[in-house]
Amino acid sequence: MKISYREALRQALHEALTSDPRVFLMGEDVGRYGGSYAVSKGFFEEFGPERIRDTPLSELGFVGAGVGAALGGMRPIVEVMTVNFSLLALDPIVNTAATLRHMSGGQFSVPLVVRMATGAGRQLAAQHSHSLENWYAHVPGIRVLAPATVGDARGMLAPALADPDPVVIFEHAQLYNLEGELPDDWHCDISHAAVRRPGTQLTLITYGGSLPKAMQAASELASEGIDLEVIDLRVLRPLDTVTIATSVRKTHRAVIVDEGWKTGSLAAEIMARLMEDCFYELDAPVARVCSEEVPIPYAKHLEDAALPQVAKIIAVVKGLLNV
């Protein structure tokens, strides 16, 4: 069955709300408006204001309330409109939700799910367009997910809600209109990366909104006889180093595509792990394609130039293969 990424998220939320009375959704405009990205459209009328809660414009306040609700036995899903705004909620997420199991000696857990849009490509300028997934992936005590397919959008929420610790789910804004086949078995774990395309000559490692670009680059290069393997990280913390290393030991080359900035990026962490685990398996230095080190511009041609693009990926791959 072919559905959109948005509809897959909507189905997952609807199932969660229907199957467990402890689950509720809150965030800015999630209720009467139906969500900034129309994911919760119709939920307010169906489930009512107790379970679909519109909040004030205060990420610090409503994410903090979500932490408290999770501690009190509820299963809150908190929607933050965009990752840039989530920086206002770093204290309840990083200083409280991520630490309480450790600080309480295992007596408390915070089963909180925070959903947020991330990424650029829609001409919304710097305050609405950055890719800060690695900021959260840096923090112990948080599980960080980046569904990039319709199947993962449908299947990741249920295990996230079942996790006793906080889970942050990043939904790239460019994916909401993406359409794809929903697999018959769309249930998934939230621990492992996925091989989206098998190959032999080089491993492309990516996640989130960059996956379609990596897949397109691999398809175009295949027409030239270049065979790439594409790894979708899916889970940014904890990283599935085993799947990454297994692929690189087979292909002996790797390129990482990451919409984050190069400095301090998730790509840098993956490169370091490949150096630690696969150094003697590599036939070339690991390369990466990241966003330019600038706030994301508003002008379309400048925004495109600042982001990883298919042409950039192809050029880096060919440089690594000397073709």
Identify residue 194 by its one-letter amino acid code: A
Catalytic residue chosen out of the listed positions 128, 130, 172, 269: 128
Q: What is the dihedral of CA 78, 31, 208, 143, to 10 degrees?
A: 10
Strand segments, DSSP code E, in 28-155 are: 52-54, 75-80, 113-118, 143-145
The pLDDT tens digits for 245-291 are 999 999 999 999 999 999 999 999 999 999 999 999 999 999 999 99
Q: Among 42-56, 57-71, 179-193, 259-273, which stretch is predicted with the lowest mean pLDDT?
A: 179-193
Q: What is the percentage of the chain residues whose pLDDT exceeds 90?
A: 98
The pLDDT tens digits for 61-86 are 999 999 999 999 999 999 999 999 99
Is 187 in the active site? no
pLDDT, averaged across the chain:
97
What would the mean pLDDT of 223-238 be, rounded to a whole number? Answer: 98
Res. 1: pLDDT tops 90: no
What would the mean pLDDT of 30-55 be, rounded to a whole number? Answer: 97
Top CATH class, 2-181? alpha beta
CB atoms within 10 A of CB 126: 13
Residue 111: pLDDT band (50, 70, 90) is: very high
pLDDT of residue 97: 98
* All structural domains of the chain with their residue ranges: 2-181, 194-321
Check if the beta carbon of residue 193 is closer than 8 Å to that of residue 232.
Answer: yes
Q: What is the pTM of this model?
A: 0.97
Q: What is the percentage of the chain residues whose pLDDT exceeds 70?
A: 100
Q: Select 194-321's CATH number: 3.40.50.920, 3.40.50.2300, 3.30.420.40, 3.30.56.10.
A: 3.40.50.920
Is 15 in the active site? no
pLDDT of residue 82: 96
Contacts of residue 4, Cβ cutoff 8 Å, sequence gap at least 6: 150, 176, 177, 178, 179
260: phi then psi, degrees, rounded to nearest 5? -70, 165
Does the fold of domain 194-321 match that of domain 2-181? yes
Closest C-alpha among 78, 88, 142, 74 to residue 113: 78
Catalytic residue chosen out of the listed positions 28, 59, 79, 303: 59
